[in-house]
Amino acid sequence: MKVAIITGAGGLVGVESVKFFSQHFDLIIGVDNDSRGYFFGKGGSVAKNINNLIEDVNNYEHYPIDIRDRERIRRLFAKYNQDIKLIVNAAAQPSHDWSGKFPYEDFEINALGTVILLEEMRTQCPKSVFIQCSSSKVYGDTLNSFDYEEKGNRYDLPQNHTYYSGFREDMFVDQSLHSPYGAGKLASDVMCQEYARYYGLNVGIFRPNCITGGPHSGVELHGFLSYLVKCTKTYNVFGYGGKQVRDNIHAHDLVRAFHQFYLNPHAGEVYNLGGGRANSCSILEAIELVHSVLGKKVEFEVLDNPRVGDHIWWVTDNSKFISQYPDWSITNDLEEIITEIYANTLQTIDEV
């Protein structure tokens, strides 16, 4: 039997992974104890997503396990053993604001939880492929020292800057402020690389910035585009005049990249993967886009202080991944993403 284990199965990346890989595997094992409901309250809960997967995906089995529970994870891997061909680790505490308040718990989930999964792969299914959903936050805030130009409603780099087309994997990670979240993700990122090189395992590491899509349970502390579309109160913009830039990748496009890696793994590689310049926007531009696409006027307030360790500008250069996997490309643009999030929001309201 061909089995895939998806952790964080109820989250945005997890849901897309389950739906996609259920078409390619005999059995999908989802691991998710709805920690998002604990992190962010009712608005961040993914219980609805989990229930939908159980009802809609015929070859899906759900296990409400905390990835820090070594014994339960061990028993799960032992149950399927060599039949496990793929592990996608999309389980995480995703907010650097939350991590600043609870650094110990954040590190346990994001770093230790990853090592627990890697160790079970090494001992029970070493021929499988492991995909780590890391983060652009591993690079810290040193990139904020670049000479950004203020242009209209966004910051940007000069056209002759080495990173004008986006940040590559040669970015530095040391001597900068990451937030406890970023530091924990960096620790798990490096351990994934080490398990690939030291133990010879097929592990790949993906470093997206803003992942988005219809099922996203966006809240103020995490998932800005989803939260912006759903927001019914004043939207708080944290610092930089709202001109900080993010690129956005639909979770389905990210999962398609996971599949390409699974088919032809390059062990130990790290990939910055995002929406690129075409899918980039500042907060102010996103607010304008929501208005033009949906006719929704978002009331907002620009606060003076940015979030600790927040990036002024992030656009991803996808060229490394595309050079190795030329069949992959972005298929969802910003307008389509915003429309999908809104449609998903209306569906949720109708169901309530």
The string of pLDDT tens digits covering residues 204-251 is 999 999 999 876 666 676 667 888 888 878 999 999 999 999 999 999
**Segment 133-169, tens digit of pLDDT:** 999 999 999 999 999 999 999 999 999 999 999 999 9
**Segment 95-132, tens digit of pLDDT:** 888 899 999 999 999 999 999 999 999 999 999 999 99
Q: Per-residue confidence at 24, pLDDT binned at 50, 70, 90?
A: very high
Tokens representing residue 247 in the block: 């690129």
pLDDT at 151: 93
173 has a pLDDT exceeding 90: yes
Strand partners, 199: none
Tokens representing residue 68 in the block: 């820090």
Q: What domains can be seen in the chain, in order of their start residue? A: 3-351 (3.40.50.720)
In angstroms, the CA 267 to CA 200 distance is 8
pLDDT at 97: 85
pLDDT at 231: 84
pLDDT at 349: 39
Backbone angles phi, psi at 250, to 5 degrees: -70, 140
pLDDT at 96: 81
- Among 74-83, 129-138, 342-351, the range scoring the smallest mean pLDDT is 342-351
DSSP tag of 110:
I
- Residue 202, classed as helix, strand or coil, is strand
CA 173 from chain centre, in angstroms, equals: 19
Mean pLDDT of the chain: 93
pLDDT at 38: 84
- Among 160-169, 294-303, 319-328, the range scoring the smallest mean pLDDT is 294-303
Q: Per-residue confidence at 351, pLDDT binned at 50, 70, 90?
A: very low
* Residue (of 315, 322, 311, 292) closest to 96 by Cα position: 311
Number of Cβ within 10 Å of residue 200's Cβ equals 12
Cβ neighbourhood burial of 150 (10 Å; 0-12, 13-18, 19+):
exposed
Cβ neighbourhood burial of 296 (10 Å; 0-12, 13-18, 19+):
middle
Q: Which long-range contacts (CB under 8 A, 24 or more apart) does 37-42 make?
A: 39/93, 39/94, 39/95, 39/98, 40/95, 40/98, 40/217, 40/219, 40/221, 40/222, 41/219
350 has a pLDDT exceeding 60: no
pLDDT at 352: 32
pLDDT at 216: 63
pLDDT at 41: 85
